[in-house]
Structure 1
Amino acid sequence: MLGIAGLVLAVVAIVALIWRGWHMVVVSLAASLIVVLANGMDVLAAINESYMGDMSAFVGSWFLLFALGSVFGRVMGDSGASAGIASSMLRLVGERHALLVIMVTGLVLSYGGISAFIIAFSVYPIAVELFERADIPKKLIVAAIMVCPATLGMVMMPGIPSTQNLIPASFLGTDAYAGALLGVICSVVMFALSYAYLQWEIGRCRRRGERFAPSPGETLSRPDDAAAPPVWACFAPIVLLVVLVFVLQRAAGMQATDAVTVSMLAAVVAACLLYRGRLADIRRAIGESCASGLGSLVSVAAIMGFGGVVVASPAYQGIIEALMSTSLNPLWQGFITIFAIAGITGSAIGALNIYLGSMAQTLLATGLDPAMMHRVLCMASVGPATLLPHTSAMLAANQAARTEVRDTYRYVLVSCALLPILVSLLGMALGLAGVA
């Protein structure tokens, strides 16, 4: 019981320290020590092996993408390209549809195989221009950017090339398009609910007289529309990014992360060449944005280190064993177990790997449709992973937007956690009713 109490206390400590503005490295180390001491673990072994092992693995996997994503966002912003995109989209659909533009942009990028981490940096320059012009309070920007990439664009829409959507395929013998009808229904419901919720929040803010304001230390320049790059040049790097990711994965058979890295590099080079006359000091822009991106990477990696300590703790192992030994219907057991693992660790990938690694054969032996189970278990992983404010993708989005978690968390909680949980329950009901 002491070990479980330690896990709970560690999560409470994370929430409290984040709310008070402590750096994520300090927060994650403090929470890790609570878990270690409550579980009677060897302190040095836990920090050096579990914490540093998972932290360094994450840094190694995402180093280039965080740096390139930050550079891409900075070049798009400094050149006026993001302002040009915002202007052209607002002329097309009007300011009242600014939220719709951001959500669709995030969805298209995620369907193109770009991770939520990179979308946070890539979409922010466009989103902040749209928010400023539509006069929407900035505390809503993280939810607006992340709601599609972190929910329907990650696990609901069939064919999404995300890791979360590919893990069940490797265990259940399905493919990325498994449970297509179920996925489409849940995607439509999720998009409609999240859009309605965020529009409602925007309306509430306007009725209270709340307006857009840049973050402390953030300088936003709105160039003349006439001074912005031509519309085709504004969109060209983003179109190149999406198309190249698709081609490299589908035609060349390249791994998803490698394809996105190469495509992001190509998009950065293309942007620098297209906008070279509009960037006052390109060396400074690249240097500062690299430093900013890598600072964000360290913050996110630190919480992954905490997850490594949690997974190595006896209390965590006991919880998983207890959940997996229940006599529930195997699909419900999987749903609840994945929900619990994702909620504790803040990792949908970890939850799917741990459960399916042990129980895939048991699930297949039930005779239930593997395609339906694929889609339902995928959806079960994303909502709980965002319930608490230490979710890695949301931390990255706050870093990119220069916002505080305590200001944005309420809107992220509803749009990226509670609504996906409701939709995943709908998916479970439809799946058991025979929809796949």
Structure 2
Amino acid sequence: MSTGDLIGLLGILLAVGLLIGLAFRGFSLLLAAPAVALLAVAFSGGPLLASLTQTFMPGVGRFIVQFFPIFLLGAVFGKLMDDSGAARSIARGFTDRLGSGRAVLAVVLACALLTYGGVSLFVVSFAVFPIADALFRQANIPHRLIPATIALGAFTFTMTALPGTPAIQNAIPMPHFGTTLFAAPGIGILAALVMLGFGIWWLKRAENLARRDGEGYGPDSHPAADPELSSERAVNADAFDPAELPHGHHAPEGPSFLLAVLPILVVLAVNLLMTWVVLPRMDTAFLAEPRWGGISLAAVSGIWSVMTALLAATLVLILVNRSRLTELRKSLDAGANASVLPVFNTASLAGFGAVVAALPVFVIVRDGLLAVPGGPLVSLSVAASTMGVITGSASAALTITLDAFGETFAQMATVAGIDPALMHRIASLACGPLSMLPHSGAIVTLLAICGATQKQSYAHIGVVTVIGPLLGLITAILLGSLFGAF
């Protein structure tokens, strides 16, 4: 390795370290990502202005072109679920049916249903926390366990494992592998069961230990959530800007549980119909024409399916809750505005990844990651997990990984005879666990919402969002290696 290569590698490491520090301190990634990208270019001796305009900005643009509709529709849907009271009705429905004796399970299932139906994890956290807080108080379960309980339901198996989930972490692999949201459904379900089972076991164990030690709910006073703080710390963590949550108008009473669940069922049903029935029967030969990009249906079918599903669910949501959405325009505006900052921040990280991948010294980094023993499934997992540690964001980790290595991994999978659907599911699973370390924007925001501290609650959050999902990932790799995609 030459002196120039060593200096280039040092530049990448410094850029990555600075990116972590700036993100954790709440600096906007709109500024931090291009700045640290140019730092890496300077160490490599490359042209700064050309790297910014010809590499960074196209990387940003590609991400926005592909995924902005999902960010937009998902944020609007989530805001309407919040303002109509539907999200609260679902949370109350589970807690009323399961009762305080199963408080942990009730909160986990409520969060899981909402996020599996396409509601942003931040919207879910704000909507569910007050109900979880009341239920834990009634059941005399320590308040410090609430963040881990919400995290298990919202940040784990419904984000990366369950087939069909419209989470952005399940959508990002689609254009790289020509897959759909339902890639490797059997493996995804089994990995989800591992995460859910392990997480519930751990939280019940923590609850029982607290009861044995005579620990109850705890202090009656906890800090209120600060949406502005949440926005600063979570700029790259999800598809919703928490600062928009107070805007719009919240209905005093939500719909019945069945009406509240209806839009979520529409998301899942329309997504399934579009993927397996409608799009395969459409004549899409025109996509091969230059004016449509010269692409195949496989490159866009997943995006089209989730867009149509979210749009249909939003229309149903408005129709059944029109009397509750008294300030519909304000709610729509707030939802649309909530999508802009996250998509541009995540896209900025995509631009950062594009710049780093274009550096000559990156060949050494790429070859090192691809040489990890275990084949493409393991090397893909290591790459996505590494990026998760760096960014503290599952979506950003997956974006950078697949922008830099997606074509290479697709070729490796073809050579090894690995189904692209399996690569999709492993990529999605791998981006989650190590993005949930203490510096994660999602974790910092969740703690702010719940009025808890890292010292009080992170140990349990880490177990259910890091260790459990890692076990799910290992399970998926073993099953995929033995039986392929199913």
Normalised by the size of structure 2, how large is the TM-score? 0.69
1:28 alignment counterpart: 33
Q: Match of 1:228?
A: 254
Spell out the pairing of 1:395-406 with structure 2 (5 A cutoff). Answer: none
Q: Is the 8 A contact 2:109 2:153 kept in 1?
A: no
Question: 1:119, CA displacement in angstroms?
Answer: 4.5
Aligned to 1:94: 99
Q: Which amino acid aligns with 2:327?
A: D
Distance in structure 2 (CA, Å) of the matches to 1:41 and 1:206: 59
Of the three residues 363, 388, 413, the one matched with 2:416 is 363
How far did 1:230 drift? Answer: 2.6
Q: Do 2:8 and 2:43's aligned partners in 1 also have CA atoms closer than 8 Å?
A: yes
Aligned-pair CA distance for 1:150 = 3.3
User: CA distance change for structure 1 residues 211 and 219 in 2, over 3 Å: closer, same or farther?
Assistant: farther
Q: Over residues 259-285 of structure 1, what are the superposed CA-to-partner deviations in whole Å (9 max), with x where a residue is unaligned?
A: 211221222222222222222321112
Q: Which stretches in structure 2 are left out of the alignment for 5+ residues?
A: 1-5, 137-142, 228-244, 281-300, 388-396
Q: 1:383 aligns with which of 430, 436, 445?
A: 430
> C-alpha distance in 2, partners of 1:374/1:222?
40
More off after superposition, 121-130 vs 305-314: 121-130
Q: Which amino acid aligns with 1:421?
A: L
Conservation of the 8 A alpha-carbon contact between 2:85 and 2:251: yes
| Cα distance in 2 for residues equivalent to 1:155 and 1:306 | 29
Paired residues of 1:186 and 1:427 also in contact (CA < 8 A): yes
RMSD: 4.3
**Which of 120, 124, 149 matches 2:158?**
149
Name the structure 2 match of 1:339. Answer: 381
2:55 to 31, 50, 53: 50
Aligned to 1:367: none
**Cα gap change, 1:378 to 1:19, in 2 (>3 Å):** same
Q: What secondary structure does 2:334 align onto?
A: helix
C-alpha distance 384-30 of structure 1, shift in aligned 2 (>3 A): same
Displacement of 1:433:
6.7
**Unmatched runs of 5 consecutive residues or more in structure 1:** 365-369
- Closer, same or farther in 2 for the Cα pair 1:81/1:333, shift >3 Å? closer
Q: Give 1:293 shift.
A: 1.9
Quote the offset at 1:252 in angstroms.
Answer: 0.2
Q: Offset of 1:291 from its aligned partner?
A: 1.0
Distance, in Å, in 1 between the alignment partners of 2:405 and 2:421 is 10
1:39 paired residue number: 44
1:247 partner letter: L
CA contact (8 A) 2:108 2:152 kept: no
What is the distance in 1 between the residues matched to 2:90 and 2:225? 21
1:308 equivalent to 2:354? Answer yes
Measure the CA separation in 1 of the matches of 2:45 and 2:218. 51
Which of residues 225, 232, 243 in structure 2 aligns to 1:215?
Answer: 225
Q: What does residue 65 of structure 2 align with?
A: 60
Which position in structure 2 is the counterpart of 1:353? Answer: 406
2:351 and 2:194 map into 1 onto residues whose CA distance is: 35
Cα-to-partner distance string for 1:123-172 (whole Å, 9 max, x where unaligned): 4565345434335567544554121133422699xxx98564896687xx
Tell whether the 8 Å contact from 1:70 to 1:121 is kept in structure 2 after alignment.
no
Pair 1:53–1:334, CA change in 2 (3 A): same
Question: Alignment partner for residue 239 of structure 1, among 244, 259, 265?
Answer: 265
On the 8 A contact 2:224/2:448 being kept in 1, the answer is no
Asked if the contact 2:163–2:184 (Cα under 8 Å) also holds between the matched residues in 1, the reply is no
Number of residue pairs matched? Answer: 409
Amino acid at match of 2:376: G
Change over 3 Å in CA distance of 1:99–1:435 after alignment to 2: farther
TM-score if structure 1 supplies the norm length? 0.75
Structure 1 pair 97–300 and aligned structure 2 pair: CA distance change class (3 A): farther
Q: 1:209 Cα deviation (Å)?
A: 4.5
Deviation at 1:386, TM superposition (A): 4.9
Contact 1:96 1:134 in 2 (8 A): no
Give the conservation status (yes or no) of the 8 Å contact 2:275–2:302.
yes
Identity, % of aligned positions: 20
| Counterpart in the other structure of 1:278 | 324
Counterpart of 2:158 in 1: which secondary structure?
Answer: coil
CA shift digits 1:171-220 (9 cap, x unpaired)? xxxx9448x4x665544323222333455677879676587654215769
The residue number in structure 2 matching 1:267 is 313
Displacement of 1:313? 2.0
After superposition, the Cα gap between the structure-2 partners of 1:377 and 1:79, relative to the gap in structure 1 and judged at 3 Å, is: closer
The verdict on how the C-alpha distance between 1:139 and 1:111 changes in structure 2, with shifts beyond 3 A counting, is: closer
The range that moved more, 137-146 or 197-206, is 197-206
CA contact (8 A) 2:270 2:309 kept: yes
Cα 1:98–1:52 shift into 2, 3 Å:
farther
User: Could you tell me which residue of structure 1 aligns to residue 140 of structure 2?
Assistant: none
**Structure 1 segment 144-223 matched on structure 2, within 5 A:** 144-153=153-162, 164=173, 176-177=183-184, 180=186, 185-197=190-202, 209=219, 214-217=224-227
